[in-house]
Structure 1
Amino acid sequence: MPDKTIAIIGCGWLGLPLGSELAADGYRVKGSTTTPEKLTRLEQASIQGHLLRLNPEPDGELETLLQADVLLIDIPPKAGKQGDAFHPAQIKNLTDAIRQSSIKHVIYVSSTSVYSELNRIMVEEDVTEVSQSASPALVQAEQYVQSLAPDRLVTIVRCGGLMGYDRIPGKYVAGRTVDSGEVPVNYLHRNDAIGLLKAVITQSLTGVYNAVAPEHPTREAIYRKSCADFGYALPTFIEPVNPVPYKIISPEKIMSDTGYQFQYPNPLDFLYELGA
């Protein structure tokens, strides 16, 4: 049995099932939510629930949450709602508190949206500075977390488009007009996101990693199969006026360093469940 306490800030669509699996593996798991109603769901998943809001200043039980060995931060930025500076401020306030804590390993769930569409394969080293990024605020947040090293282990995991279960691609494009059908996807099934994050925790990996399925079918292939499988209205595929830029995110580094075998290497084979 692993003698470790893992705290997850942000027990949402990914954080909650991740915490549940870690608890099943024998870890002590704490988790945060912004709503009192969700505390029961955390307890049912064997996660010790704590209320926490980042407004962007912490409001709630942060000190208790930080009494742990490993901290995983999974709070996707709310694009546009509070402005670009809000999410980096949330993370800056968190890192200030982490410096006063016993946390030994910090894992920040970032996104492959940091990469621009440059019509080529993108690797981790392509974005190391704010000025290189399509999402400067996200890289600023990454850098705040990275500043915790070398006093603590630090890992940045840039996840692709999280899919699976109730996140069904056809649902989002049903009946629409799509001119980007030839663009390759950079998807990650939730099961593999959980598997990769567990590998980072158990192997105490540090550094920056892309987490995305190794195969990249086109959007059109994905949408056609998804709509056929679930009965959504097929979008209308049209030729773009100008070529649509793309990017192909490489997961080679995380596959090599962890030895992880993807459950769903091809997004055409992802497991979905209506109403899951």
Structure 2
Amino acid sequence: MSILGCGWLGLPLGRSLARKGYLVKGTTTSRPKLASLVARDIQPFLLHLDPEPNGEGLADFLSADVLVLNVPPKVEARGADFHPRQIRFLMDSLLGSAIRRVIYISATSVYPDLNREVTEEEALPQPGSNRVLLQAEALLRSLSPRVETTVLRCGGLMGYDRIPGKYFAGRKALPTGAVPVNLVHRDDVVGAVEAVIEREKWGETYNLVAPLHPTRQEVYLRNAADLGFEPPEFTPTGNQPFKIVAVRKLQQELAYVFRYPDPLNFSFTNEDPFY
């Protein structure tokens, strides 16, 4: 099991897989962080995609059955062409490796705001990171049948030290309080990745968000009340564009039961069991 990108999501994923008995390899772009991977039973590799693979031991890292690809596109910093180029260079390496299965961490930003529920079939190219993610998904799917890719389109990743309301503490006149959220707790992303692997659901695309969709105002005010920071204030506005990302396919095909189905009840703590 290899994880390209052992950061806020990839590191706890690797630790969880190692605890389940998998041999886990993981990458970091920072030499000082190599020790943190070793401490979590992850075989460490110093690698980055710039956009070509650069670092130490790429062939050894790709000597595995499954690759979890957890690399954000960084469109604002590197431009819209950078992430697809990363994927193309990586594809060349994959075709000469033992990897047969890929899990690509994508995002629900691929869906436009249609003011209704959206399913896996409704992604539409938009400017920015949306288009980049769809390009990356398509490139990886083109490796089939040699390499089968399952895409997880994640909502806003929260939990532990990532608290949605904290980023708006004390703000005034926020206009989008009535918009429903599409959030997911990190523990459920880890759980869903493990479910894909264990149930061998390859060549699929799944949305990954908490099944319930309270409004931003409800979430931010709950966070402020529970965690003791200044609540934001909202200004009533007309209809704001929104989407509600459907997660039924993942629940049904993976038989996945969310640990945190309601963003109003997400767990937030700095005492991270994986760190």
TM-score by length of 1: 0.94
Task: Confirm whether residue 151 of structure 1 aligns to residue 146 of structure 2.
Answer: yes
Percent of counterpart pairs with the same letter? 48
Secondary structure of residue in 2 paired with 1:192:
helix
Residue correspondences, number: 269
- Alpha-carbon distance in 1 for matches of 2:68, 2:129: 24
Unmatched runs of 5 consecutive residues or more in structure 1: 1-5
1:83-232 matches, within 5 Å, as: 83-127=79-123, 130=125, 135-177=130-172, 178-206=174-202, 207-232=204-229
CA contact (8 A) 1:7 1:72 kept: yes
Shift of residue 213, structure 1, vs aligned partner: 0.6
For residue 41 of structure 1, what is the aligned residue in structure 2? 36
Task: Confirm whether residue 237 of structure 1 aligns to residue 231 of structure 2.
Answer: no
- Alpha-carbon distance in 2 for matches of 1:73, 1:37: 22
CA contact (8 A) 2:3 2:70 kept: yes
Shift of residue 53, structure 1, vs aligned partner: 1.1
- Alpha-carbon distance in 2 for matches of 1:182, 1:94: 41
Shift of residue 147, structure 1, vs aligned partner: 0.9
Shift of residue 274, structure 1, vs aligned partner: 3.9
Task: Confirm whether residue 260 of structure 1 aligns to residue 256 of structure 2.
Answer: yes
CA gap 1:79/1:231 in 2 versus in 1, 3 angstroms: farther
For residue 58 of structure 2, what is the aligned residue in structure 1? 62
CA contact (8 A) 1:114 1:133 kept: no
Secondary structure of residue in 1 paired with 2:152:
strand
Secondary structure of residue in 1 paired with 2:3:
strand
TM-score by length of 2: 0.94
- Alpha-carbon distance in 1 for matches of 2:76, 2:164: 23
* Deviation sequence 1:121-154 (CA, Å, 0-9, x none): 0100112x64699711110011111111111221
Backbone CA RMSD of aligned residues: 1.5
Secondary structure of residue in 1 paired with 2:60:
helix
Secondary structure of residue in 2 paired with 1:254:
helix
* Deviation sequence 1:241-263 (CA, Å, 0-9, x none): x4210000001001100101110
Unmatched runs of 5 consecutive residues or more in structure 2: none
For residue 12 of structure 2, what is the aligned residue in structure 1? 17
